[in-house]
Amino acid sequence: MVQMVELSKSQDIEAGDGTTSVVVMAGGLLNSCSGLLNRGIHPNQISDAFQLACKKSTEILQEMGTPVDFNDRESLIKCTTTSLSSKVVSQNSSLLAPLAVDAVMKIADPLDNNADLNMIRVVRKLGGTVDDTELVDGIVFTQKAAKGAGGPTRVQNAKIAVLQFQLSPPKTDIENSVVISDYQQMDRILKEERTYIADLCKKIAKTGCNVILLQKSILRDAITDLGLHFLAKLKIMLVRDVERDEIEFICRTLQCVPIASPDALRPEKLGKADLVEEIGTSDGKIVKVTGVPKPCKTVSILCRGSNKLVLDENERSIHDALCVVRSLLKKKFMIPGGSAPEMEVSQRLMEYSKTLGGAESYCVRAYAEALEIIPATLAENAGLNPINIVTTLRLMHANGDKNAGINVRKGTISNMMEENVVQPLLVSASALELATEAVRMILKIDGFVPTL
């Protein structure tokens, strides 16, 4: 069980999609191994034959692949739509697919053949519908602007400071108590606090800053009511409780430098944006930063959902869609979907096994038969008769129709390329390789040591 979970995680890291397929495929291969072992074939022979079959399968998939131009937006959208068709939010694929393609195309590095998905920040906000999900060329904060003291909520031509220090009175390094014996001492402490915070706010204003992004503090309050009062008087907008792990993304987007202490305040460390404004939504308010400096290799996606379940599913679907586009950037080939590649590989491996001899031929044939579990599972999930579908599909591939696959919506077998049901080559190739590696590793286990 643990092996299957790790296998699914590996597929998610490598391709980002096909996590269910790789587990089903591994289960089918393990089942075929059980039959081979019962017939007295040695595990090493099975393992070597499976490796040979996997190598041949990858070659077959490569032959089936159609080259994709990464600048061809429509082809990328077709692949992404296929990925979203099995999700709860499949009815919104016409919105989410182009959104995912545009996001990856913006951050992609064509020379590196890869895209760092950490540069796409998916922000969750409960409320609205999936249709309200949008691509933001800038930054979105789910927290509202701190305007308790009457500070601004909209700033044009913003000069933004990312602060990592607190706008509150300092605390001692050790746990102690201060005993105040008269009102004069109390007034003096309050006056010192006021002067200290006022000086900090004046230093910030002196740099030309009119928007502050304040990092969340775990040691003491990041800002006091007095600090809010001074910032409001200076017409400086404040967004507080920015998470530490968001700082790198924010700095890359705004092309600024985080400021760790008041002494490090410099005008050249500020970021710029055309507009920072607080916007009302059905479930509270958000802050949008738009018009960020060019070139900007980051982008934000505001993910919406009417309840937590839909919101979680929407976020997961967007992640899978982004990974599909990245897969096409890594390996610029697409293949038909609807279990057509698995059935074609199965059919071709059957023919290939006839050219081999001995136990190797038997094992490769068993590997080919195991791959038929993918179309069988897809047919079963679609409410179709798995036996009829698989036998018909096998016949069509034997007659040379390599693009024939299961049309879930019509409940029949169709040409997947004509139906625009396509997927990245990397997803299927990675699933085959990882499932085979996992099964070979399990075959090498001699026994289990029982533990309490």
Give the single-character DSSP code of 215: E
C-alpha 125/C-alpha 114 separation (Å) is 29
Give buried/exposed letters for 213-228 (b at 16+ CB in 10 A, else e).
bbbebeeeebbbebbb
Report pLDDT digits (tens) over 241-274.
Answer: 899 999 999 999 999 999 998 889 999 999 999 9
* Omega before residue 295 within 30° of 0, cis: yes
Q: Which residues contact 277 (CB under 8 A, 6 or more apart)?
A: 153, 154, 155, 287, 288
Res 23 pLDDT > 90: yes
C-alpha 318/C-alpha 158 separation (Å) is 30
Rounded average pLDDT over 152-175: 86
In the prediction, which pLDDT does 114 show? 81
Res 361 pLDDT > 60: yes
Q: Which of 86-90, 281-285, 353-357 is most confident?
A: 353-357
**Confidence band, pLDDT 50/70/90 cuts, at residue 450:** low
In the prediction, which pLDDT does 147 show? 81
Are 429 and 91 a contacting pair, CB within 8 Å?
no
Report pLDDT digits (tens) over 184-217.
Answer: 888 888 888 889 899 999 999 999 999 999 998 8
Share of the chain above pLDDT 70, in %: 98
Res 49 pLDDT > 80: yes
Which candidate, 33, 158, 152, 120, places its Cα nearest to that of 323? 120
Which residues on adjacent β-strands are paired with residue 277?
Answer: 154, 288
Q: Give the CA radius of gyration of the chain.
A: 29
Q: Take residue 222 and report the two structure tokens written for it.
A: 């990041």
In the prediction, which pLDDT does 1 show? 65
C-alpha 450/C-alpha 441 separation (Å) is 19
Average pLDDT, the chain: 89
Res 71 pLDDT > 70: yes
Pairing of strands 299-305, 120-126: parallel
Higher pLDDT, 173 or 297: 297
Res 452 pLDDT > 60: no
The mean-pLDDT minimum among 78-92, 167-181, 411-425 falls in 167-181
Q: Take residue 244 and report the two structure tokens written for it.
A: 């530490």
C-alpha 148/C-alpha 242 separation (Å) is 18
The mean-pLDDT minimum among 88-92, 156-160, 207-211 falls in 88-92
Are 49 and 363 a contacting pair, CB within 8 Å?
yes
Res 384 pLDDT > 70: yes
Are 319 and 312 a contacting pair, CB within 8 Å?
no
Res 448 pLDDT > 80: no
In the prediction, which pLDDT does 45 show? 92
Report pLDDT digits (tens) over 113-135.
Answer: 788 888 999 999 988 889 999 99
- First-to-last CA distance in the chain? 18
Would you tell me the crossing angle of helices 43-64 and 358-370 to the nearest 10 degrees? 60
In the prediction, which pLDDT does 12 show? 86
